[in-house]
Structure 1
Amino acid sequence: MSGIVGLISKKDCKETLFYATDYHSHLGTEYGGIAIFDGKKITKKIHSIAKAQFKSRFYEDIDFMQMHGNAGLGVISDRDTQPLIMRLKFGEYAICGTGYIDNQIDIARKMIREGLVLSEAYDDRVNQIELVAHLINKGKDLIDGIEYMFNNIQGSMSLLLLGKEGIYAVRDKYGRTPLVLATKNSEKIVVSETCSFKNLGFKTEKFLGPGEILLLTENRIRQIRKPTNDLRLCTFLFVYTGFPASEYEGKNVEEFREESGRLIARKDDVDVDMVAGIADSGTAYAHGYSYESGVPVRIPLLKYTPGWARSYVPPSQEIRNLVALMKQVTAESLIKNKRIAITEDSIVRGTQLKNYLLVKLWNAGAKEIHVRPACPALMFPCKFLFSTRTLDELFARRILKKLLGRHPDDIKPYLDPDSRQYKKMLAAMEKDLNITSLRYQRLEDMILATGLNKENLCTYCWIGQEKAGQ
């Protein structure tokens, strides 16, 4: 998932835009970009942030330091170079977005057959922001074009468009990714993460609804398209992706994680000497587990934060493995001869947990290791955000393929924690990971911890259905 920011003010917006964008750095490690409108033209700068942080890339950029204007966009991108400046038939716009278009290749091939030239198109991917711009350009006007885009993509897309008339904020048709409006005096900001504006003095005005479109100008906020009631917010935002200080639909991420840890402990029956969270996202689960069970929290695995990013975010397995190896350092005296409950946000691919973290704990002398992920086993590649793309990437699916010799024709028995097949799968996972026990959070408890209705949450990656109970 990428993080996007739109800011409009009656004064130079560059500094505030820069810091608000930087506060989305936990969402992507590929590109950082900023576009600013000075009243006459839009100027942009894009840098790779794969090997250097957003702040350092832009601090060192003389051209960026000379950019000024009262309206701008910022983005931390997990995949595409953005924002792009596109000259549509309705005018010139800087565009950035977050989401994933599952049918992007089919759309791109159709456009190319029709004679359209795409500047960033390959056999297996295109620049989704460029694709979105061309889809919007097919409309009678900008808003009709956005409707056309919504109706032709499979997946999700929230957008910000900066033009001479102001900033259009467009939340995904089903609200899978958040957009939040906040204000400070006459300044207006729209962001993915509420943590991005708290230290900048802004106050939340509203969470945009599914499909809602706002136009922000210097003097007003105008609703262009009313929201629908069909919200399908990505639950993984609470589980892992979101920053702890952020809120989604008014619900705080850290609070969710603590409550989730409580629910895990409430249904656990192991005797352990300590509970430890895999930093950073696993830490709050450990605190919740401790509050409920009375088991003390210890920190036997310490994250060396100054030089290493989040290990799930980098696009290649090689880089993810390197980050997992290097960033967690053991405190052996806390581990030796101890029975440890490990709280983890999730087990996605399982390679980092198996090959690095658990090995470190065993080598440091752990007596028992009990792993407690805060969500169910991930069974389906995500169709709505840039994440896992194949069944074989997923730890649970690889275990089932190893057990059965193929992917099962009927996955339903392996989604039921009380079934014989599920318990057999769980035993195989424990053996593969070389741990004392493994217990996943149940779907209903994960949903309960969000404080939202199950009808408003996307649970596709766990059960293959967008809404629980469909």
Structure 2
Amino acid sequence: MQNAQELIEGSCSILLLTDDGIYAARDRLGRTPIVIGKKDGAYAATSETCAFPNLDYQIEKYLGPGEIIRITEEGMEQKKAPGDRMQICAFLWVYYGYPSSCYEGINVEDVRYRCGAALARNDDAVIDMVAGIPDSGIAHAIGYAIEAKVPYKRPFVKYTPTWPRSFMPQKQEVRDLVAKMKLIPIKELIEGQRVLFCEDSIVRGTQLQDIIQRVIDYGAKEVHMRPACPPLVYSCKFLNFSRSRSVLDLASRKAIREIEGDEDTDTPDEYADFSSEKYARMIASITRRLKLTSLQYQKLSDLVTAIGLPKERVCTYCWDGAE
């Protein structure tokens, strides 16, 4: 297991059931979590602590980066000590972590409230309501609404039976259809209103473009967007959470190509700098393409603060290219 973790590029956390116990191994940089739960002499290993409460398990141990343990009826035996360096994926808290889960003892829902509050503190938009793009945008929006003292409303309700996660299908047209059919608009809450949406992130932007157009068609006076993380400038090479076939699919890279006129732009570092002129031009391009009144992303420093871990222990590669 240790050899596999050293050879495999990306993230590889392993749970192995054998005749003499369960082996649990967290990937060498801790990008994905492994947590051990305990109750009445029984043990469980999972990546999501949300699996524990309804089964009456208590969190016993968060495995460290590269740590390997064996679990038997006698208890836990450490087979390999954890390494010093950790690079847990920040996107766990931003998007794909379950709200009731904790990673490194830090709850997902709490972090999303703090992300939303940080967005509000840096904003001066005059709006009538705050809304979240379901599902993961909701907690960010609640945090924003509480901090800004603006009503939180639901101009879209979600219908999920029979539909998969909208980012899962490989074909873009299928992803767009799924995203559209799952969100049902409420015209009475939209018409004539200045609406600010919080979203976990903007990856390709195609589904968001459709949502914004529907809000405009239903008579919104203004549509503002506040993603809870910075622009995704680099494609994840560790977990591939976005399902993008190419880094050029990213909304930020489309904007960079529009500005640079070069489809092979491999040095987007200046566009990842929040204070640069090129960053401002990139945001303006995305704003125009999405037909937004305004677009303001989360600062990376505010996101890291909301998570509550030192930056060097969090993977932020997709935003700043740091490894």
TM-score (norm 1): 0.67
Match of 1:232 in 2: 87
Say if 2:318 is the partner of 1:461: yes
Out of 178, 191, 202, the residue aligned to residue 347 of structure 1 is 202
Say if 2:52 is the partner of 1:197: yes
Q: 1:409 to 1:393 in 2, by over 3 A?
A: closer
Out of 27, 31, 37, the residue aligned to residue 172 of structure 1 is 27
Do the aligned residues in 2 keep the contact of 1:381 with 1:389 (CA within 8 Å)?
Answer: no
Cα shift readout 1:80-125 (whole Å, capped 9, x = no counterpart): xxxxxxxxxxxxxxxxxxxxxxxxxxxxxxxxxxxxxxxxxxxxxx
Cα shift readout 1:2-58 (whole Å, capped 9, x = no counterpart): xxxxxxxxxxxxxxxxxxxxxxxxxxxxxxxxxxxxxxxxxxxxxxxxxxxxxxxxx
- Alpha-carbon distance, 1:384 to partner: 0.8
Distance 1:325 1:306 in 2: 14
Q: Which shows bigger deviation, 217-226 or 325-334?
A: 217-226
- Alpha-carbon distance, 1:363 to partner: 1.1
Do the aligned residues in 2 keep the contact of 1:275 with 1:290 (CA within 8 Å)?
Answer: yes
Out of 237, 260, 272, the residue aligned to residue 404 of structure 1 is 260
Distance 1:253 1:348 in 2: 20
Match of 1:100 in 2: none
Matching of residues 104-183 of structure 1 within 5 Å: 146-183=1-38
Match of 1:42 in 2: none
Matching of residues 196-275 of structure 1 within 5 Å: 196-275=51-130
Q: Counterpart of 1:455 in structure 2: which amino acid?
A: E
Distance 1:409 1:280 in 2: 33
Cα shift readout 1:117-174 (whole Å, capped 9, x = no counterpart): xxxxxxxxxxxxxxxxxxxxxxxxxxxxx22222222211001111111110010000
Match of 2:296 in 1: 439
Out of 359, 363, 366, the residue aligned to residue 213 of structure 2 is 359
Do the aligned residues in 2 keep the contact of 1:238 with 1:256 (CA within 8 Å)?
Answer: yes
Do the aligned residues in 1 keep the contact of 2:6 with 2:28 (CA within 8 Å)?
Answer: no
- What is the DSSP-based 3-state SS (H/G/I as helix, E as strand, rest coil) of the residue aligned with 1:148? helix
Out of 271, 284, 309, the residue aligned to residue 427 of structure 1 is 284
Match of 1:452 in 2: 309
Match of 1:305 in 2: 160
Report the RMSD for the aligned CA atoms in angstroms: 1.2
- Alpha-carbon distance, 1:295 to partner: 0.9
Task: Point out where structure 2 has 5 or more consecutive residues left out of the alignment.
Answer: none
Out of 204, 213, 222, the residue aligned to residue 368 of structure 1 is 222
Q: Counterpart of 1:357 in structure 2: which amino acid?
A: I
Distance 1:274 1:167 in 2: 50
Do the aligned residues in 1 keep the contact of 2:31 with 2:315 (CA within 8 Å)?
Answer: yes
- Alpha-carbon distance, 1:317 to partner: 2.5
Distance 1:455 1:284 in 2: 26
Q: Counterpart of 2:29 in structure 1: which amino acid?
A: Y
Distance 2:100 2:266 in 1: 41
Q: Write out the 4+ residue segments of structure 1 that deviate beyond 2 Å after TM superposition.
A: 305-310, 312-319, 386-389, 407-410
> Radius of gyration: which is bigger?
1
- Alpha-carbon distance, 1:409 to partner: 4.8
Q: Counterpart of 1:161 in structure 2: which amino acid?
A: L
Q: Counterpart of 2:238 in structure 1: which amino acid?
A: F
Percent identical residues: 47
Matching of residues 305-324 of structure 1 within 5 Å: 305-324=160-179
- Alpha-carbon distance, 1:285 to partner: 0.8
Residue-pair matches, total: 320
Q: Counterpart of 1:254 in structure 2: which amino acid?
A: E
Match of 1:385 in 2: 239
Q: Counterpart of 1:326 in structure 2: which amino acid?
A: M
Distance 1:246 1:313 in 2: 22
Out of 40, 43, 66, the residue aligned to residue 188 of structure 1 is 43
Distance 2:285 2:168 in 1: 27
TM-score (norm 2): 0.96
Match of 1:277 in 2: 132
